[in-house]
Amino acid sequence: MKFIDTHAHLYAKHFTEDADAMIMRAKNVLEAVYLPNIDMTSIEGMLQICHKYPDFLFPMMGLHPCSVDKDFEKTLLKMLQLIEDSMNGKQDSIKYTGIGETGIDLYWDKTHFEEQKEALLIQIEWAKRFRLPIILHCREALDIVIEIIEKNHNEHLSGIFHCFDGNFFQAKKISEIPNFKMGIGGNITYKKSALPEVLENIDLQHIILETDSPYLPPTPHRGKRNESAYLTLVAQKLAEIKGVGLREIAHITNENVKEIFCSQTYSR
Ligand SMILES: [Zn+2]
């Protein structure tokens, strides 16, 4: 019984000391990890580690909302070229498995709100065009992003509301968008989290698991570095909330992941 971590930044500098040991620990409990990109500076490290573990780590391509600045259009053009090259087999065997992470973050800085929206819309178009799932980061902006997805949805759009931390109404809304899932991470284990109550009445078919490593470590690792192997703590908490076994959590969430990432990128 193994799980899938759908969101981890395993190329982060937090892992340079012990990357291989960390990946081994992850391999004991996981069958795959999906790596979202941040900006131009994170691409090389991401591809390096994915090349090293090609059947275990899967890269994605996109621009994080916190990295959107006045030059975002130029950056997106470069990223689009990389995706096209990988699609055409030019980028030695690397295949991007998703678009992101993109989205809107109004927590840190609202200066580039309009640019963030524009960058999100462009990446939604890529997701449709390349038939790749879109990975959505929403901070203080969940309703805005839900509305944008609803407005731009078609049968070719699928994706993940990464690090879902919304209320029941928002969870319900997402569960009604075809081919979209909620990524549930370490915050479900936090004492003050409202997520357990929210998810009690949300069907498991709408849920996938993630760590967001090295960030958001689950209890009892709070305040330290998170890593993909800790995904089991998230799964355990979810099993508790839903009153089912870990095996069922693994089975359903893995099926959900395969539905989102399709067979073109993930075939087992
Ligand atoms: Zn992330």
| Interval between CA 101 and ligand 1 midpoint (Å) | 7
| Tokens of residue 97, six digits | 């498995």
| Tokens of residue 90, six digits | 């030019």
| Interval between CA 8 and ligand 1 midpoint (Å) | 6
263 pLDDT more than 70: no
| Interval between CA 204 and ligand 1 midpoint (Å) | 22
| Interval between CA 39 and ligand 1 midpoint (Å) | 11
| Interval between CA 186 and ligand 1 midpoint (Å) | 13
User: Can you tell me which residue has the tokens 């992850």?
Assistant: 26
Q: What is the pTM of this model?
A: 0.96
Confidence at residue 266, expressed as pLDDT on a 0 to 100 scale = 47
Dump pLDDT digits (tens) for 130-185. 999 999 999 999 999 999 999 999 999 999 999 999 999 999 999 999 999 999 99
Number of CB atoms found within 10 A of residue 118's CB:
15
Dump pLDDT digits (tens) for 191-242. 999 999 999 999 999 999 999 999 999 999 999 999 999 999 999 999 999 9
Please, what is the average pLDDT of the chain? 95
Single-letter residue type at 61: M
Dump pLDDT digits (tens) for 37-51. 999 999 999 999 999
| Interval between CA 201 and ligand 1 midpoint (Å) | 26
What ranges do the domains of the chain cover? Answer: 3-265
Confidence at residue 122, expressed as pLDDT on a 0 to 100 scale = 98
Superfamily for domain range 3-265: Metal-dependent hydrolases (3.20.20.140)
Q: How many helices (H) and strands (E) does the chain have?
A: 9, 8
d(CA 118, CA 112): 10
